[in-house]
Amino acid sequence: MSLRSDRKYFWTSRLVLLATICSSMADKGATPSSANLSAVIDKFCVSCHDRDEKKGGLDLESINLREVTQHPDVWEKVIRRLRTRQMPPAGKPRPDEDSYKAVLTKLEARLDSVSAQHPNPGRTETFRRLNRTEYQNAIRDLLGLEIEAAALLPKDEASHGFDNVTVTDLSPTLLARYISAAEKISRLAIGTPARSQGGDTIRVRPDVTQEEHVPGLPLGTRGGILIPYTFPQDGEYELHIRLTRDRNEEVEGLKEPHELELLVDRAPVRLFRLVPPSSPKEHETADAHLKTLISVKAGIHQIGVTFLKNPSSLLETKRQPYNARFNMHRHPRLTPAIYQVSINGPYSSKGPGDSPSRRRIFLSYPSNPSEEESCATRIVPTLMRKAYRRPVTDEDLRKPMEFYRQTRVKDGFEAGIEMALNAILVSPEFLFRIEQDPANAAPNTVYRVSDLALASRLSFFLWSSIPDDELLEVAIHGDLSKPAVLEKQVRRMLADSRSESLVRNFAGQWLHLRNLESITPDLRLFPDFDDNLRQAFRRETELLFESVLREDRSVLDLLRADYTFLNERLAKHYGIPHVYGSRFRRVSLGKEGERGGLLRHGSILTVTSYATRTSPVLRGKWVLENILGTPPPPPLPNVPDLKDNTVSSNLSVRERLAEHRANATCASCHNLIDPVGFSLENFDAVGRWRTVEEGKPIDNSGGLPDGSKFAGVSGLEQGLLNRPQVFVGALAEKLLTFALGRGIEHYDAPAIRAIVRDAQGKDFQFSSVVLGIVNSTPFQMRKAL
């Protein structure tokens, strides 16, 4: 028997077993109480075993309820399938809802009881490197310095859906990147002058439409770019602006005079005038004069480059005009656009100035050389305490202070502090989150993590960054593990602006929003797609998640929200009137509206589509994996992809996918996946609402693995909300994976169920789910090697 057949028989046997038990009890009018349910299961298992039904490697004795705790991994799989009503499969006899609940209650109670008596929190890795996002946030909170970690460090590989899981290694190449990053950051934070004038070039994505206002720039302007830039020293810097050009190297959209404004922190600095070139040769120098010297103080400043908006009128056309304007041949730019901005300097440097990073570092500054040592012994330990997330010892101090003293002799006090900071930033105590077993911990025993480890777990979970002074102080005093203190800190941290990391980092990965950056639909079929729409998609979903977090709403509102967040660009795409301007605002929607919760967002619908068409398979898989928490098995090897060019282009996606469902090898999975995706067919590949496809009415009939049938996204949402514990459990699993930096195992299931049960009494408020995770056994405990 093949592996596939083994797996199919393995699950089918259990499905038929539980269905037969519950159905036979229902036929006899019996109530499936714990006592008679146990007896019936035992009796049925024995009878199956007596008939020698041990096919496909399945020993039905293992299903005996009295032995359930010996096979928790198997039974947790059964519970997961029962909870989503995937057992028994469609076409098999199904028990009633009361029988389902009785079976689940019995199995869960047995497993939860054993887990409470013998907790198994699993084991997080001893050494976990800060990933790119955590490193960037840690530098911000340690030094008050905004950096772009993506320019310094390579991308982290994701596992179990998140990029903070596979971060246990540090290859020589990666170490070299961290060393290089530490040198650049130390020099920038101190304000050390470079050996020669340096610079950066910031380029605008080529598919950005620059015909309307850019958020953060003054009203009355259009297009351009807003750049947050950290200047290392007080002094003069040269800015050079380049305009976009077409394939013929001619400046795009420059048909009439325009005015270009340069701003620093929203204050006008220079106004340039652009005139149309009179000959092709003049296009080469059309922007040559767009350069100037500006005088700025050290630190971060907002550099704005934008055009004064000329009056314009609405085009009177039979069709709505396209919003995307960046394609030379299809939809050329109507006005000039910014290609890149280069910043070089400093020239005529006036020293490091009083930047935020220097204020953070130099808590005291020597007035003469005799005070330098005492100042250093205050500065370095303070930085180390924050960076290492714990009190520092004399041994910790020895090396950084040694670097400080050696460099100070040659290059002075500030150079010595820079070298000590460099040593801190490349120390394993900063680059790694280290959790070591207590010295007296016996192998395979369970222990509570220390308050300091708990503080780091909490801060990297909620902020993706290091603990702040208050959290660290509470942990050092040993009070963080007290329930009331811990809850107070969690609520404080959720209210802090740094919890936005849950929006951008956690939700960005859970909901696949990061994938939007690599998505570009076929512009022949979707010519109105540009980066403006891409970013609006992402921002809408982030703002919905943030509203649930900030307002402490029920997490179910992620599915059932009767509001969304729109700007004019996105509202036009959705066909929602009376929304104007670049600012996102909350828009209340009617009950019968086409927009609302996550399943109606253009972001989700686009990342789960192909470039040319929708994909019920990708959408169905996304819902099963991220909303129901029951991902389908991976496709079998050597199964060919669906070839669009082998079927008529006039067929709907549903008709094309019939090929896979007709294949017995594929049908077992696609019969679960496809119906979920079919219910979202009213949304095209870029999330627009539609009622016809290829001239035919959309068939939006769908279903869930529990056998329920419905039509459209409203039916799908209601089907998911009928059993809210399933969605909340799936969300809790994702949050716990993100919080622990490891995949969820079967022994984590009792903790997940406890989180959901506790949150249910509070209407599944976001804070109740987070507090449940923070108070859970996997989060607060660890297993020794």
Q: Which residues of 372-385 are buried (b: 16+ CB within 10 A; e: fewer)?
A: beebbeebbbbbbb
* Stretch (H or E) spanning 657: helix 653-662
Nearest in space to 77 (alpha carbons), one of 105, 102, 107? 107
Q: pTM to 2 decimals?
A: 0.90
Give just the sign of the alpha carbon dihedral 19, 22, 24, 27: negative
Distance (Å, rounded) from C-alpha 57 to C-alpha 35? Answer: 29
Angle 108-110-112 (CA atoms, 0-180°, nearest 5)?
Answer: 65
b/e string for 118-150 if b means 16 or more Cβ within 10 A? ebbbbbbbeebbbbbbbbbbbbbbbbbbebebe
At 476 the pLDDT is 98
Query: Which residues fall within 8 angstroms of residue 253, CB to CB, at 6 or more apart?
Result: 332, 333, 334, 335, 336, 337
> CB–CB of 192/204 below 8 Å?
no
pLDDT for the residue 45 = 39
Cβ atoms of 501 and 545 closer than 8 Å: no
Among 392, 400, 430, 429, CA closest to 417: 400
Instruction: Cis check for the bond before 616: say yes or no (omega within 30 of 0).
Output: no
Name the nearest CA neighbour of 186 among 302, 297, 350, 352. Answer: 352
| Phi, psi for 231 (deg, rounded to 5) | -90, 125
What integer pLDDT is reported at residue 634 of this predicted model? 81
CA distance 432 to 182: 14
Which of these, 525, 533, 598, 526, lies nearest to 564 by C-alpha position? 598
| Residues 606 and 686: beta-carbon distance below 8 Å | yes
Residues 6+ apart with CB under 8 A from 73: 746
| Integer-rounded Cα radius of gyration of the chain | 30
Residue 346: phi and psi, rounded to 5, are -85, 150
**Nearest Cα residue to 558 out of 568, 546, 569:** 546
Compute how many other C-beta atoms are within 10 angstroms of the C-beta atom of residue 442. Answer: 9
At 702 the three-state DSSP class reads strand
Distance CA 78, CA 87 (A): 8
Residue 664 corresponds to which amino acid? A
The pLDDT value recorded for residue 657 is 78
pLDDT along the chain (785 residues), means of 10: 42 44 44 45 38 36 62 88 82 83 91 94 95 98 96 95 92 94 97 84 96 95 97 95 95 96 97 95 95 96 96 70 87 95 93 94 95 97 98 96 97 97 97 95 96 98 98 98 98 98 98 96 95 98 98 98 97 95 94 92 98 95 96 76 59 76 75 94 97 92 92 97 96 98 96 98 98 98 96
Give the position of tokens 């009190």.
391
Q: How far apart are CA 437 and CA 429, in angstroms?
A: 16
Helix, strand, coil % over all residues of the chain, rounded to 5: 50, 15, 40
Strands 198-203 and 338-347: what pairing?
antiparallel
- Convert the pLDDT of each residue in 302-342 to its tens digit: 999 999 998 766 666 667 788 999 988 888 999 999 999 99
Question: DSSP assignment of 86-136, as one string?
Answer: -SSPTTS----HHHHHHHHHHHHHHHHHHHHHS-------SEEE--HHHHH
pLDDT in tens, 600-640: 999 999 999 999 999 999 999 999 999 999 998 887 776 66
Q: Which residues pair with 299 in a beta bridge?
A: 231
Q: Is the bond preceding residue 88 a cis peptide, omega within 30 degrees?
A: yes
What burial letters (b/e) apply to 564-594, b meaning 16+ CB within 10 Å? Answer: bbbbbbbbbbbebeebeebebeebebeeebb
Q: How confident is the prediction for the chain on average, in pLDDT? A: 89
pLDDT reported for residue 510: 98
